[in-house]
A and B are shown apart, each in its own frame.
Chain A
Amino acid sequence: MPKTEVKIIGFLCNWCSYAGADMAGTARMKQPASLRAVRLPCTGRVNPLLVLKAFREGADGVLVSGCHPGDCHYNEGNYYARRRLEVLERMLPALGIDPARFRYTWVSASEGAKWADVVNEFTQQVKQVI
């Protein structure tokens, strides 16, 4: 039986996805209340341990979102992040965590609609496996 309420921790880059999420909010786009956003200066700040710790503290899903590759405010933060997050994602099955509970993605400040889609879709996905 899929859970109805899930808790998702979002680690969002201040310069893009956080603003995108804000925009989706101001435009009153329909989004689930599942996401708890943590605002970070850049995805380069996302230590993979933040994700593992969120799971350990009981998060149902963890979403990391930042500027599109090439658009990082600090030029290269998300290039480093991309490598770390990919390794983390592939490690999850061995750690005994369903990889469907984790996603990293790129959403810019102007993509409010895309943001709403990402959150809706990811929330559905998490509900399926929790």
Chain B
Amino acid sequence: MSMNDLIPAIKKVLEEVDVVLGWTRSPAAGVAVPARFHTPDEADGAIFDSTCIHNLAVHLPRLKNSKVGIVAKGCDARSIVQLIVEGEVSRDRIRVIGVPCPGVIDVKRAWRCYGFGKKIEDAGGRVHMEGRSVPREEILLHKCHQCRDQEPVIVDLAAGDVTSMTPPPPPDKSGIRERFAAMSITERREFWREQFSRCIRCYACREACPLCFCRDVCSMQTREPHWTGGQVNAIESEMAQQVRISHMAGRCTGCEECERACPVGIPLMLLLEEQNKIIEELFAYRAGASLEDKPPLLTYDINRDGGWR
């Protein structure tokens, strides 16, 4: 896709909305940063490329009183759908601009390997960083390797042909997921103890999540109910995260934003991916896959439930 499709699409949508959520290029770092476009002039700065990693749906519940346009990848569209299903966003208040997604690059990982702020260029199947380059499948986000959202479930205006790339096979088989899967239950207990001993209770995971919309009544923090104390230690922090994870059951679309936001690199997706898998096995439900589905924990099926035991 070229910006020749995207910019006119944003301008068109601006005729009916107050603001369009999209991306522009950071002059300093060269990668995409989220941007809000209010006027056609501003929209000239819009871009879409494989560094557009952010899930902009997180802003929708916070913009309750405006009409909002949003540029969405296939997976972002699922967050939008889930927000509508949960009654957090009304369908007639938003306009979705679909884009064909090439898969997004794990910018943080790339910079950790090659130097922070290095210019990233994605061309010819390789990602180039100041003289060095790696095959792009080695540096794509994990979710893109198993992308099942090549076509956004909700689109009002398509910027070009919105069918995304076919996901490449995952490159290495020795990553954290494989190591975690091989651990015994006792090892996992130790693993989480160690991981959560690094948590600083910044709540970035919650803030980055489009489906964490309780805001100031979040049980990760409340005194009443008092699920967890405010102390920063492994036990309290793990409990706080268990609160969040259990609230994500049947709601998480697997966008990976919590993990990306975590400043200390706790692999939160290990738990969320497991939970999503369980939910899909039990209830054949994928969050945000359709506007008609009822969230599985808000309903029951007398005839089928229990047959899983």
Residues of B219-264 whose CB lies within 8 A of A: 219, 227, 235, 238-239, 242-243, 245-246, 249
Residues of B189-212 whose CB lies within 8 A of A: 189-192
CB within 8 Å: A-B pair count: 74
C-beta contact mask, A68-90 vs B, less than 8 Å → 1, else 0?
Answer: 01100000100110111011101
Option from B239, B249, B275 in Cβ contact (under 8 Å) with A53: B239
State whether A91 and B278 are in contact (beta carbons under 8 Å apart), knowing that A53-B227, A76-B300, A83-B297 are contacts in the complex.
yes
Query: Residue on B with the closest CB to A98?
Result: B185
Q: Kindly state whether residue A95 has any CB partner on chain B within 8 Å.
A: yes
Option from B191, B235, B296 in Cβ contact (under 8 Å) with A56: B235
In the assembled complex, the CB of B259 is this many whole angstroms from the nearest CB of chain A, namely 15
Q: Kindly state whether residue A2 has any CB partner on chain B within 8 Å.
A: no
Size of A's binding interface in residues, CB under 8 A: 24
Contact call A80/B300, Cβ cutoff below 8 A: yes
In the assembled complex, the CB of A9 is this many whole angstroms from the nearest CB of chain B, namely 16
Bound form: Cα–Cα A93–B191 in Å: 12
B residues less than 8 Å from A93 (CB atoms): 185, 188
Contact call A83/B282, Cβ cutoff below 8 A: yes
Size of B's binding interface in residues, CB under 8 A: 34
Bound form: Cα–Cα A59–B185 in Å: 17
In the assembled complex, the CB of B262 is this many whole angstroms from the nearest CB of chain A, namely 17
Q: Kindly state whether residue B29 has any CB partner on chain A within 8 Å.
A: no
Q: List 11 A-B contacts (CB under 8 A).
A: A52-B239, A53-B227, A69-B306, A82-B306, A90-B278, A91-B275, A93-B185, A93-B188, A94-B274, A96-B190, A96-B191
